[in-house]
C-alpha cells in the first residue's frame, strides 16, 4: 500500500497505510525519508521528554520532518507544562530529565518552524478539545 496524498484529485485514491516507528531511539532504525504525507503525534511529547530529555523530543521532531514528503503535514498535540509535574516522579530517569528540560511545550511551535524547518502551522480548534492540536506544514521544496 502507498500513502494517500492529502487533497488528491484522484477518483479512487490509494488506500491509507499506517506505520509505527521509534523516532527517539538513537540505535533503532526509523521509517524512511520523504515517505509519508501525514504524521500524527498525539499526547506523547511529555513522555518522550521525560524519558529521553530535550534531545529525545528534538530527535522526534527532526525525524518526523525528514520522514514527511514535501507538502506533508505533522499533527502535534503537546501536553501542557503543568501536566509534566504530575508525571515527573514516575521513575528516577523521569525526575532527572524533568529537572533539566529547557524546551517547554509553549516553545514547540517556534522550535518546529525556526529550527526544524516547517514552513507554517495553525492551531486546530474545536469546542470539545481540551488541549491544543497543531497542524504543521512542510513546504514543497526540500530544506537543505
Mean pLDDT computed over 127-140:
87
CA distance 131 to 92: 27
HEC per residue, 15-66: CCCCCCCCCCCCCCCCCCCCCEEEEEEECCHHHHHHHHHHHHHHHHHHHHHH
Strand, helix or coil for residue 108: helix
Q: Alpha carbon of 90 to those of 16, 47, 95, 96, 143: distances in Å?
A: 36, 10, 7, 11, 38
pLDDT of residue 1: 34
Looking at every residue in the chain, the average pLDDT score rounds to 85
Between 85 and 6, the higher pLDDT residue: 85
Between 3 and 46, the higher pLDDT residue: 46
* Position 109 pLDDT exceeds 70: yes
Burial class (CB within 10 angstroms; exposed 0-12, middle 13-18, buried 19+) of 78: buried
Between 72 and 125, the higher pLDDT residue: 72
**Of the listed ranges 15-19, 64-68, 87-91, 139-143, the one predicted with least confidence:** 15-19
Strand, helix or coil for residue 99: helix
Domains of the chain (ranges; CATH) run 36-137 (3.40.50.150)
CA distance 101 to 31: 27
pLDDT tier at 17, thresholds 50, 70, 90? low
Amino acid at each position: 500500500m502507498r500513502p494517500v496524498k492529502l487533497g488528491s484529485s484522484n477518483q479512487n485514491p490509494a488506500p491509507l497505510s499506517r506505520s509505527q516507528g521509534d523516532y527517539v531511539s538513537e540505535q533503532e532504525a526509523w521509517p524512511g525519508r520523504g515517505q509519508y504525507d501525514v504524521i500524527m503525534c498525539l499526547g506523547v511529547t511529555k513522555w518522550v521528554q521525560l524519558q529521553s530529555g530535550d534531545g529525545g523530543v528534538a530527535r522526534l521532531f527532526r525525524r518526523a520532518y525528514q520522514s514527511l514528503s514535501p507538502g506533508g503535514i505533522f499533527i502535534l498535540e503537546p501536553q501542557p507544562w503543568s501536566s509534566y509535574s504530575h508525571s515527573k516522579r514516575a521513575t528516577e530517569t523521569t525526575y532527572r530529565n524533568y529537572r533539566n528540560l529547557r524546551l517547554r511545550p509553549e516553545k514547540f511551535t517556534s522550535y518546529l518552524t525556526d529550527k526544524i524547518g516547517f514552513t507554517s502551522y495553525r492551531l486546530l480548534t474545536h469546542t470539545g478539545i481540551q488541549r491544543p492540536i497543531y497542524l504543521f506544514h512542510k513546504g514543497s521544496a526540500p530544506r537543505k
